[in-house]
Amino acid sequence: MTALRTKGTGERMKPRNVSRAAGALIAVAATALVVVSIIPAAASAGRANGGLTPPEAGAPVATSVGKGEGKLNLIAWEGYAQPQWVKPFTAATGCKVNTKYAGSSSEMVSLMANGGGGQYDLVSASGDADLRLIYAGDVRPVNISLIPSWKNFQSFLQSPSFNTIGGKHYGVSFEFGPNVLLYSTKTFKTAPTSWSVLYNKKYSGQITVPDNPIQIADAALYLSKTDPKLGISDPYELTQPQFNATVALLKQEHPLVKKYWDLASQEISLFQSGTTVVGAAWPYQTNTLVADKVAVAETIPSEGATGWADTWMLATKAPDPNCAYKWMQWMTTPQIQAEDAISFGETPGNKLACPIMDKLQKGSCEAYHANEPSSYFQSIKFWKTPLATCDNGKNDCVPFQDWVTAWTSIIG
């Protein structure tokens, strides 16, 4: 049984079974991020004027993948280095894999300090940590043409702004997932078309949303469409008035919420027991509930949704670059993409993984949205760290630390 997981802008736990429950709990609250603003400030500036370059932008990239060094040291989310695909990798390449599991994006960033310290080769960083690693010079560009599967990736994951700067790829995208609207089909005969159901008094005491400051972005995304006067263009870049309006909406929502969930298993049991009928969720919960014959379905409402995306990034001081390239090649193959998608409960970046997913578990490709048209993926706003120095050029956005404080007062 897969039970406990939590995820946040950064802090995510991805345990796969109940025996890891204790660990999951300790790392429980999901979430995230430390805003190293100076670095992301540079990032924003770089995007805005194209003038600033990451420290390692000029680092030479490999032109071919040589013989493996015999070992590979990873920093990864738990569940990303399952024996199921690590063993055949070692057998095929001779690279013995050592994995350090990280509990949060902050932990990943600190483990990767000083270019991985000459110890680590790769990190499976999430979108919110990527720019911090890039602008700190802890990761360096990779030669994307050495990753054959890359050309089969969903186009929006090939060179996303969170891991590709100035045409240089600081790693290869891996897998991703949307934050969807989960609803009981007993209560809703047709799929809700708007996130407004989460703010509707009609469902008072039957609503559940994640206990995670990044949830503010979900509300901001909703307001960006329903209250154009506020002028929200990016849910992660909010000026103080925009931020205040979003927090006010969430405070209104508070009395309607039954439970702010910290673990996926909590939301699953809330829907199983019928305590809640609508909430924000991941496809993982939907699929688990549907497999349990609970009358639920998920949708991405008209306002769109937020989501997460992970990247395998190459440490600046990677001691085993050949094995690292072999790993990036291996992890992006359709077979492994499909295996990870099913084992972990997320969506593969490689488009060719879909038929293999269905072969491994019937209907799983559709369940995890791997076969959706590109318009579906365009509707997902991927997590990134809220920074004071946002793209509007005025440096007047609300930084993540304030998001955390505001979240405490919302659910307080």
Q: Which stretches of the chain bind another protein, using CB under 8 A?
A: 8, 11, 21-22, 25, 27-38, 41, 104, 106, 213, 254-255, 257-260, 262, 266, 269-270, 273-275, 388, 399-402, 404-405, 407-409, 411-412
Spatial distance between the Cα atoms of 254 and 158, rounded to a whole number of angstroms: 39
- List Cβ neighbours of 262 (8 Å cut-off, separation of 6 or more): 6, 28, 29, 30, 210, 211
The tokens describing 67, both together, are 């013989």
- Residue 237, token pair as written in the block: 């870049």
Q: Find the shortest distance in angstroms from Cβ 115 to another protein.
A: 20
> Which DSSP category does 344 fall into?
I
List C-alpha distances in Å: 241 to 224, 230, 232, 253. 13, 8, 10, 19
CB of 315 to another protein, least distance (A): 22
Which residues are CB-neighbours of 295 under 8 A, at least 6 positions away?
A: 184, 185, 186
CB of 72 to another protein, least distance (A): 29
Query: Minimal distance in Å, beta carbon 276 to another protein?
Result: 9
263 vs 254: CA distance, rounded Å: 19
Beta strands 168-169 and 172-178: pairing type? Answer: unpaired
Report, in Å, the least distance between residue 104 CB and another protein: 7
Between residues 13 and 356, which has the closer beta carbon with respect to another protein? 13
Closest to another protein by CB, 274 or 355: 274
> Radius of gyration of the chain from Cα atoms?
20
- Nearest residue to 191 via CA among 300, 303, 273: 300
DSSP annotation of 79: T
What is the rounded distance in angstroms from the CA atom of residue 201 to the CA atom of residue 207?
10
Which of residues 206 and 337 has its CB atom nearest to another protein in the complex?
Answer: 206
| Closest distance to another protein from the beta carbon of 34 (Å) | 4
The Cα 345–Cα 281 span in angstroms is: 12
Collapsing DSSP to helix, strand or coil, 247 comes out as helix
Distance CA 300, CA 273 (A): 24
In the complex, least distance from residue 263 CB atom to another protein, rounded to whole angstroms: 8
Distance of CA 352 to the CA centre of its chain: 21
What are the E-state strand segments in 150-247?
164-165, 168-169, 172-178, 180-184, 207-210
Nearer to another protein, 30 or 323 (CB): 30
Nearer to another protein, 47 or 258 (CB): 258
Please say whether the beta carbons of 231 and 238 come within 8 A.
no
Q: Which is nearer to another protein, 23 or 117 (CB)?
A: 23
Nearest distance, CB of residue 38 and another protein, angstroms: 5
Q: Which is nearer to another protein, 240 or 405 (CB)?
A: 405
Least separation in angstroms between residue 22's CB and another protein is 6
Q: Least distance from C-beta 9 to another protein, angstroms?
A: 9
Identify which of residues 47 and 254 has a Cβ nearer to another protein in the complex: 254
Give the separation between CA 174 and CA 308, rounded to whole angstroms.
11
Smaller CB separation from another protein, 10 or 160: 10
Report how far residue 319's alpha carbon sits from residue 235's, in angstroms, rounded to the nearest whole number.
39
Nearer CB in complex with another protein: 221/257: 257
